[in-house]
Amino acid sequence: MSGIVIAAPSSHSGKTVVTLGLLRHLAREGLDPRPAKAGPDYIDPQFLAAAAGHPCVNLDLFALGADRIKAEGAGLRAGGLAVVEGVMGLFDGANGEDGSTADLAQALGWPVVLVADAGAQGASAAALVGGFHRHRRGLPLGGVIFNRVGGEKHARLLREAMARALPELPVLGAIPRDRALGLPERHLGLVQASEHAALEAFLDRAAEVVARHVDVPALLALASRVERARESPAASPPIPPLGQRIAVARDVAFAFTYELTLKGWRDAGAELSFFSPLADQAPRPEADAVYLPGGYPELHAGEIAAASRFLDGLRAHADAGRTVFGECGGYMVLGEGLVDADGVRHSMAGLLPVETSFAERKLHLGYRRARLLDDAPFAPAGTLFRGHEFHYATTLREGPGEPLFAAVDAGGHDVGAAGLRAGGVRGSFIHLIAAE
């Protein structure tokens, strides 16, 4: 099949809503689209999966590398039309432009459609698009969709300006302003898809807007120009399986998992089971590893603290020497206590000597290269992982204890030790994406 990348000059240009509307429209038309998200993101993929009716994978060029990206892209295209939503601005990457949406599009060989916010511009919008068009040679920029257009007169002005300045670059759509197409947000981005009370109605509305104001046949024709490259499937999972039978926490407090990680574990022969800490479910006793992903435990700290079956089950696994692994929110739950935004302390599992707080927030953001400092059941000491941090928690106390990783940022600058380990229990604020 074919593939296309939806990008924008900057965040908040409207590319998420355009991508959601396109995916839902294509799904309603029976074209079976396959969604993907550029870069490290947990929230957008939930919406993209809901719109398309298929799981959404993250294509993070910085963390996964070009070979794996090409293999995953080939897999997406084999299933149906692949639609990738970009991240931030088109040329924004981990360290300058490294791993940007533009880099991803070139690695895949897929055309880019630029979603430009024209809400406060007239003919100047053509200059903005022209700058992006000429910034990098070889970038397959195939067209532009103007968003937040004021009406027919405004749309005509934009099209005429583009025809004069960039006749080779088609205007594929002009989407009018629509406050109903806004998505609610919180400190880490959008509210999760499962928390959106009217998600289906929202997606259907977005699809109708795209069908009415975007030249979808022209966009599909653009996507169909993708040439088939020689690609081979990835030989190993991005992250080695934590065990043979892995119990994965999954609910609105523990929702930050990467589809490629779970798929990789299954493909490697691991058996996955899921449980909800918020429903006071314990991990299955027969599991030899427990995975607590990130999410929003700070919003549900009281419920987690009161979930005795969950906490006792978690402690039983730790006492038996089995692997227990927590990332970000999961790491905080493995700690001794969590202070919520109102300053109320809640006791957590007490398996690692760490205490965290949201009463005083501080943003921690960026890619990480993390070197494992001990031999773990899933990887030997010295294994290098690529991942990212994105949280607002403040560490009140960490340790004494053995650190889990030695970490550097995307530029190679030392950011010190990360996380803790105690017996079979390990955790850190780093979300792992792939082993190097």
Q: Known catalytic residues? A: 328
Strand partners for 254: 251
Yes or no: say if 138 and 106 are a contact pair by the CB < 8 Å rule.
Answer: yes
Yes or no: say if 424 and 390 are a contact pair by the CB < 8 Å rule.
Answer: no
Q: Give the residue from 191, 175, 171, 185 showing the smallest Cα distance to 25.
A: 175
In the numeric block, which tokens belong to residue 236? 């190993």
Strand ranges (DSSP E) for 171-262? 171-176, 185-186, 189-190, 245-249
In the numeric block, which tokens belong to residue 226? 């993708």
Alpha carbons 57 and 46: distance in angstroms, whole number = 10
Angle of helix 43-52 versus helix 199-213 axis, rounded to 10: 70
Q: Give the residue from 351, 344, 257 showing the smallest Cα distance to 295.
A: 257
* Alpha carbon 42 to chain centroid, angstroms: 4
In the numeric block, which tokens belong to residue 49? 């999966």
Give the amino acid at 2: S
Sorted by sequence, the CB contacts under 8 Å of residue 290 that are 6+ apart come out as 246, 247, 249, 283, 314, 317, 322, 323, 324, 325
| 393 half-sphere exposure, CB direction, 13 A CA radius | 32
Q: How far is CA 197 from CA 47, 50, 192, in A?
A: 13, 13, 10
Q: How far is CA 131 from CA 91, 134, 142, 364, in A?
A: 12, 5, 14, 32
